[in-house]
């Protein structure tokens, strides 16, 4: 889910998201869903080769950000795309569709 604000879901949007999630559960497609805190609370950690560094800020300084996500079981790419369209409508936000690596 992509948003430009933090905690911006209206009561109507939250109801639509709950209904979408209930539909996923009813069809055994729901794995996990959660919202993310504002990117301003993020920090990038790099401990490759013992670097032990922290930026104190998000990786990207962008107006839009990932504000939440779903892990959904879909039979194929077509089904996943259909669910992404439904999710976008339910949350009234853009949704980025990605496969899990290796699947």
Query: What does the domain layout of the chain look like in residue ranges?
Result: 2-91
Q: Are 28 and 73 in contact (CB under 8 A)?
A: yes
Mean pLDDT of 12-33: 96
Which two structure tokens, joined as six digits, stand for 20? 């979408």
**Per residue in 47-94, pLDDT tens?**
999 999 999 999 998 889 999 999 999 999 999 999 999 999 999 999
Class of domain 2-91: alpha beta
Q: Are 50 and 37 in contact (CB under 8 A)?
A: no
Q: What is the pLDDT of residue 8?
A: 76
Beta strand pairing call for 45-46 and 2-3: unpaired
pLDDT surpassing 70 at residue 7: no
């Amino acid at each position: 889910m992509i948003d430009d604000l933090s905690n911006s879901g209206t009561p109507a949007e939250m109801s639509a998201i709950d209904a979408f999630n209930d539909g996923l559960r009813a069809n055994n497609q729901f794995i996990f869903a959660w919202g993310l805190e504002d990117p301003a609370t993020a920090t990038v950690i790099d401990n490759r080769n013992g670097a032990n560094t922290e930026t104190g800020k998000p990786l990207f300084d962008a107006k839009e950000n990932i504000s939440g996500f779903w892990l959904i079981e879909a039979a194929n790419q077509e089904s996943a795309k259909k669910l992404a369209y439904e999710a976008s409508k339910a949350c009234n936000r853009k949704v980025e569709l990605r496969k899990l690596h290796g699947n």
